[in-house]
Amino acid sequence: MNQTEFEHLLSDCLERLARGETVEDCLARYPQSAQELAPLLRVAQATLATAASLRPRPEARTAIQERLSRAWRERERKRRRALPLLGLLRPVLVALSLVLLLGFAGWGTAAASAGSLPGEPLYPVKKAGERFLLVITFSSEGKARRHVSLANERAKEMEVLVHQQKGDQDIEGLAQRVEHHTRAAVFLVAGEKTFTLATPATPEVPPAAPAPAQRQAPGPQPPPRPETTVAQGVASPSAATPTASPGVASQEGASGASPPPPGLARRERTRLEIQQLLRERARLHHTRMEQALGETPPPLRPGLRKALERSHQAFLEAVRELAEVEQKEREGLQEQLKEQDRPSQHKEGPQPRDRGPKEQPKRSSPGR
Amino acid sequence: MGSPNVIVYARGQPCLSKFEGDEAHVQEHEGLVREAQQGDAEAFGKLYELFVDRVYRYVLLRVGNATEAEDLTQEVFLKAMQGLGAFQWRGRPFAAWLFRIAHNQVVDRLRRRQTGGGQVSLDDVLFLPSHDNVEAATLLALDQERLRDALERLTELQRQVVLHRFVGGLSLVETAAAMEKTENAIKALQHAALLSLRRLLLPEQRAKDWTER
């Protein structure tokens, strides 16, 4: 018998001892190994017997029981206190889970709707998502950027629809939306002093195109719109909108002057940024639409071209109006600076135009 | 209802309860643990009754001090109560889990004793036995001292296997789970441990008489 076999045999005997058999019973079961097993089993049994005599004192046993009872009661009290709280929180947790679930589902649907077109099932979801983003954008500049982005999106949809040669009605409607969004963007960054627009910031229905006189009322009458083709206007937007050039020129001319007041600077930056975006979009939109138009059957072209001109002009008009606003604000600022310069020549100390914006609060700081 | 963790005598030989190590008994532990986890104090009380003596013996033969052993036994059950909610069966018997707690408590106490230089008094070592026969008590106490002395001379793994198997009364499976060893490893270890104990406890005829008593 090898050692492993003996170990199994010994283990079996130890299990039997633990189950109540005697050493003699085990030895009788394995007579061939009895001599080797006997001393080991007797030692095991002696150890078992000695250990079995060890017990905690009765008073110690009682003390442990009491201590455990106190601990158990405390534990149960804590558990009971925690359970009602969980019960109260359960509806809140369920509601939160549902909101998260719906949020993820909604997000998935919104993501899936991103490439949808008018007339497709997910298009209303896409529009709802856009409206939501507009609602949660609070600053005028942010809203203006969103409107520019939406104008771009509608223009892209037009391009795809024309390319796919479908949806005449939808294309016209999209052109109207481009017009609406570009006007809203201009209105939001134009400022109240020099620019007014008859339409609300985010009207659901695009308003009727206001008369040019209405939109340009505060400023001098711009030169009549050049009778260029759309292609010319795209090739050189500033040439198509001559008022844009003075705006840019004045901006460049004023760049060496004192910086604009801080409040104006951000709006001015946004305005320039939007102007740039709209100009770029006008060019792209025209190129793509012309390509798509070239592929459409000739009978459909007049209606589509009308829509294209409307959307393209909406971009260009917005660029022109922003340039006008820019020009007027520069002129107004220069006038203001001139007026400030005149009385300051009779006073001692630094001229107001040299005074930085940080020094201005000295006059208005309360309590000093 | 009597506790199953009692010494029974078969043909005049003392041995551990016939329930210990039994599969049915393991299932009984599992049922009690589940009931205790659901807040049943009586179930936890039964578990306490089943294991308190076995834990105490295990702890006492390691620390050698009755008062300290009682204190540690209380700590073991308090820890078990705290951890009961997180205990999951998953093939590891409750006894193995409980003796793991006991082992950790003992190790902590011995480590603190080593760093703190604590002394053990003779009065504490000579704990009160479970019966009133003074003569027999003296003999038993001496036997316990010899056993403890012999255990101290074993290797750590041999000592652990003896403490789990013959002092704590754990089955082979429970011992394997508590010591995180295979059953075959435990079989080999208990063989080696018994050989060592034989050399330590049976060097002379007097010892032979002791084992045949």
Could A53 and B52 be called an inter-chain contact, meaning their C-beta atoms sit closer than 8 Å? no
* B20 touching A (Cβ < 8 Å): yes
Q: How far is A98 from chain B (nearest CA, A)?
A: 29
Which chain A residues are within 8 Å of B82, Cβ to Cβ?
75
Residue B8: the pLDDT is: 35
The DSSP 8-state label assigned to residue A171 in this structure reads H
Q: Assess: ipTM above 0.90.
A: no
Instruction: Tell me the residues of chain A between 11 and 70 that have a Cβ less than 8 Å away from chain B.
Output: 11, 14-15, 17-25, 39-40, 42-57, 60-61, 63-65, 67-69
B92 contact partners, CB below 8 Å, separation of at least 6: B177
pLDDT band at A359 (very low <50, low <70, confident <90, very high): very low
Most confident residue range from A70-74, A93-97, A224-228, B207-211: A70-74
Residue B44 has pLDDT above 80, yes or no: yes
Residue A193: exposed, middle, or buried by beta-carbon count in 10 A (0-12, 13-18, 19+)?
A: exposed
pTM higher than 0.95: no
> What is the DSSP track for B18-49?
TTTT-HHHHHHHHHHHHHHHTT-HHHHHHHHH
Helix, strand or coil, per DSSP, at residue B15: strand
Cα distances from B40 to residues A50, A75, A358, B24, in angstroms, run: 34, 12, 73, 21
Positive or negative CA dihedral for A171, A172, A177, A178? Answer: positive
Mean pLDDT of B189-212: 74
CA angle A276, A229, A277 (to 5 degrees): 10
Average pLDDT for chain B: 76
Please list every residue in chain B whose beta carbon sits closer than 8 Å to the beta carbon of residue A6: 191
Give the separation between CA A292 and CA A290, rounded to whole angstroms.
5
Residue B212: the pLDDT is 55
- Can you tell me the mean pLDDT for A227-249? 37
* Residues from chain B contacting residue A54 (CB–CB below 8 Å): 53, 56-57, 60-61, 127, 144
Of B13, B81, B198, the CB nearest to A43: B198
User: Is B165 an interface residue toward A (CB < 8 Å)?
Assistant: yes
Q: Is the pLDDT of residue B159 over 90?
A: yes
Q: How far apart are CA B148 and CA B157, in angstroms?
A: 15
How many CB atoms are closer than 10 A to CB A65?
16
